[in-house]
């Protein structure tokens, strides 16, 4: 009899926890994007414009001929053009094609954080005693 009562209490406790968790999830539905726990951005276009402007400025620390800088500039300019030309968030997500706009914002923030590290590492510089190797890129 004691065992049945313990099981019953455990089930009741589990049900209470599940109910509380469900209420909590519903309570944050307006604040969370639904994509990988990222917070919904109220003004994604403005956020992306600001991040892309910061990225362009931060790239000044990278030599103009570095492949990293050229690629980041190309992606940033392309996406900024899409942000400026596409007022609808759903259409913007479809045109960029990498997921939800919150994921695009997270990627832009990550790229912005990577730039100083790349400037410090300077992968475009050759180690002492090494010669440049010509590489042909295929687009």
The percent of residues above 70 in pLDDT, for the chain, comes to: 74
Q: Is the pLDDT of residue 34 over 90?
A: no
Q: What is the pLDDT of residue 101?
A: 96
- Residue 32 DSSP label: B
Do residues 90 and 23 share a domain? no
Q: Could you tell me what percent of the chain has a pLDDT over 90?
A: 62
Domain count, the chain: 2
Do both 15 and 73 map to the same domain?
A: no
pLDDT bracket for residue 35 (50, 70, 90): low
Q: Are 68 and 16 in a shared domain?
A: no
> Residue 72: how many CB atoms within 10 A of its CB?
21
Mean pLDDT of 38-54: 96
Within this chain, do residues 52 and 94 fall inside the same structural domain, yes or no? Answer: yes
Same domain? 55 vs 79: yes
Residue the block writes with tokens 């992606």: 75
Residue 37 lies in a domain: no
As a whole number of angstroms, the distance between CA 105 and CA 109 comes to 6
pLDDT-derived band of residue 134, with 50, 70 and 90 as boundaries? confident
Per residue in 100-111, pLDDT (tens digit) is: 999 999 999 999
Q: Range of 21's domain?
A: 1-30
Specify whether 24 is located in the same domain as 50. Answer: no
Q: Which of 95-134 are b and which e, b meaning 16 or more Cβ less than 10 Å from the residue's Cβ? A: ebeeebbbbbbbbbeebbeebeebbeeeeeeeeeeeeeee
Judged by average pLDDT, the poorest of 7-16, 61-70, 121-130 is 7-16
Residues written for the chain: 139
């Amino acid at each position: 009899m004691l065992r049945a009562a313990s099981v019953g209490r455990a089930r009741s406790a589990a049900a209470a926890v599940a109910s509380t968790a469900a209420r909590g999830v519903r309570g944050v539905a307006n604040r969370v994007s639904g994509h990988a726990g990222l917070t919904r951005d109220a003004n994604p276009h403005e956020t992306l414009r600001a991040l892309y402007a910061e990225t362009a400025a931060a790239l000044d620390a990278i030599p103009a001929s570095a492949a990293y800088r050229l690629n980041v500039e190309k992606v940033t300019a392309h996406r900024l053009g899409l942000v400026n030309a596409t007022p609808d968030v759903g259409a913007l997500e479809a045109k960029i094609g990498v997921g939800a706009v919150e994921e695009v914002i997270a990627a832009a923030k990550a790229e912005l954080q990577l730039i100083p590290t790349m400037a410090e590492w300077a992968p475009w510089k050759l180690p002492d005693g090494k010669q440049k190797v010509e590489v042909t890129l295929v687009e």
